[in-house]
A and B are shown apart, each in its own frame.
Chain A
Amino acid sequence: QKEVEQNSGPLSVPEGAIASLNCTYSDRGSQSFFWYRQYSGKSPELIMFIYSNGDKEDGRFTAQLNKASQYVSLLIRDSQPSDSATYLCAVKVASGSARQLTFGSGTQLTVLP
């Protein structure tokens, strides 16, 4: 079982719709959860991070964390074509570990105009 799992997609949504991206993780001791956006040929860009159960909103983005279910999601409201990218879920898997972040394989999102 992979430590961080994401559906690879591609996920297509029409412009203006809500895009829902999901991520599960295996280590119950995980403490911090991050969503990065990566455009083709570019390095990842941090969108949001969340530490506590519940929802965290930032503009059109909402991160949702459920530690009991080991599940973290990212919702993008009013999706725009410029949101088309690969979204990487990253988890800090263990306190004090030399490996700081473990990344999922990413979900490719396409927002159709």
Chain B
Amino acid sequence: GAVVSQHPSRVICKSGTSVKIECRSLDFQATTMFWYRQFPKQSLMLMATSNEGSKATYEQGVEKDKFLINHASLTLSTLTVTSAHPEDSSFYICSARDRQGGQPQHFGDGTRLSIL
């Protein structure tokens, strides 16, 4: 079945560091990828929709200058958390939708980000 690879799985770093998370679709082409954030015991919250070859669409309240998204190819999207602070510590999950299949979305394994 479709597989989405997300890397790294865990990051621990100091406040002020920028962190890049990669999301790859391994066996299908994804024109659209989604980035979610999940705080403990809460549901997934969509941060932004990443479109191949164009600017990402950010949800209300998500700072586009802080969460930089690049979707340079049909199989790769990256999320960079710039100058991360402790309040950015969360579980970040990407998902991708097969350009041919439409639904459903397939999720990566997530990245647990801890900012000290």
Contacts and interface: CB of A to CB of B under 8 A. Distances in A.
A99 B46 contact: yes
Given A100-B49, A105-B43, A34 B104 contact: yes
Nearest to A88: B43
Interface residues of A, number: 21
A42 B49 contact: no
B106 A105 contact: no
Contacts of A98: 49, 57
Q: In this complex, which of A43, A100, A102 has the most chain B Cβ atoms within 10 angstroms of its Cβ?
A: A43
Interface string A77-106: 000000000001000100000111111111
Given A44-B93, A101-B46, A105-B43, A92 B108 contact: no
B112 A41 contact: yes
Interface of B: 6, 32, 34, 42-46, 49, 57, 59, 91, 93, 97, 103-110, 112
Interface of A: 32, 34, 36, 41-46, 49, 88, 92, 98-106
